[in-house]
Amino acid sequence: MSDIPSTQAVSPGPSGPGEDRARATTEAVRAEPRDAAAADRGAALRQKLGPFGVPAITLVIIAVFSLLSDDFLQSANLQDILRQSALSLIVAVGLTVPLIMGDFDLSIAAVAGFATTVVSVLIAREGMPLIVGIALLLLIGLGIGFFNGILVAWIGMSALVVTIAVGSVLNGLEFAFAGSQQISSGFPPGFVSFARSMIGPIPTLFVIAIAIAVVIWVMLERTALGRNMRAIGGNAEATRIAGIDVRKVRLLGFMLCSGLAAAAGILYAGQQAVAYPLTGLNVLLPSFAAVFIGAAAFKIGEFNIPGTVVGILIASIINNGLLLINVASWAVYIFQGAILLVALLFARIVARTGSPQGM
């Protein structure tokens, strides 16, 4: 009689590839709700903290420069900051409009410089009446925006390429109109006095800039045109299907942007009472940085006028503070580029669930 083998525990053999995949899938499915909940909590936290980020950064910047320079918080210096930010604010407010629709305009600095040089030639060298010269340059500014809009909205060319090309043409035309010569005399005294005047403790140009910002804010937030612009930025094709003339609205955006850039250039001529080609307003990087900083304030993930105002003030405060602590002039350009990168990154972080087009 043979022995009956005793019962032994049999260890399970190595699992096959199919079992490994099934186990991994099960674990992934279990982890998904936890990951989704964590992502939702992170998004909610970013949305709650986002509006406080830009004001907090502003306060830190002010505190740092106050410690580094005793002159920073003096009333005269604060007036300088407002004066320096006024014209850049006008340009940045105009730039906000096409950016809301997803369009970039890189010709703003060239338009402002062209307006500064040409209006100086007309009113200071040629003796054209001031009102006529200002009106003519404003019309030219609107015309430049109309040209940009036709090429971009109607023909379908790239906004980046078109506005870079137009800016290059305008730079050349500055030299042609000025004869490569500086204009430093003949400016109407009343024009110069107005551009340098004060309304109480506040520079007149800053009051004008704020008034323009309020008008554009009302247009964007309280009118059908503004709602259409935001709709185009969200989904241009759906807006077109809904019956909105997308091309016309985009055209108006480019015209408004160039028109305000020209207005800023005209006022800059009166403020400086001197003009030379390619030495006008330095507004390209500060304006873009301001608009993207603004997308991380107030309306998180959306370009908005109040945010643009704060962004311009931040850029002006930094430039002013760097000069007060005797930073080399070339370093200002480095900081301007860095500010734009930081603004893009910060806006991207706080608005990850719905960042503006182009971010």
Mean pLDDT along residues 285-310: 86
pLDDT exceeds cutoff 90 at 9: no
Token pair in block for residue 243? 């019956």
Give residue-wise pLDDT tens across range 261-271.
Answer: 999 999 999 99
What would the mean pLDDT of 31-43 be, rounded to a whole number?
Answer: 53
As given in the structure block, the two tokens for residue 88 are: 């850049």
Token couple for 267: 């006022």
pLDDT band (50, 70, 90) for residue 2:
very low
Report residue 292 CA to chain centroid gap. 5
As a whole number, the mean pLDDT across the chain is 85
**Is 211's pLDDT higher than 80?**
yes
Cα distance between residue 151 and residue 24, in whole Å: 54
Averaged pLDDT for residues 168-179: 93
> Tokens for 50?
């986002």
Task: For the chain, count helices (H), then strands (E).
Answer: 13, 2
Per-residue pLDDT, 213: 97
Q: Do the Cβ atoms of 85 and 293 come closer than 8 Å?
A: no
Cα–Cα distance for residue pair 12/17, rounded to 1 Å: 15
State yes or no: pLDDT of 132 exceeds 90: yes
Sign, CA dihedral 163-168-169-170, equals positive
SS3 of the chain: helix, strand, coil, percent, to 5? 75, 0, 25
pLDDT recorded at residue 327: 84
Kindly indicate the confidence band of residue 13, based on its pLDDT and cuts at 50, 70 and 90. low
Read off the pTM. Answer: 0.83
Lowest mean pLDDT among 45-54, 186-195, 292-301, 338-347: 45-54
Domain 52-350 has CATH 1.10.1200: no
Mean pLDDT of 275-293: 87
> What is the pLDDT averaged over residues 104-126?
95
pLDDT at 10 over 50: no
pLDDT at 229: 96
The average pLDDT across 96-109 equals 96
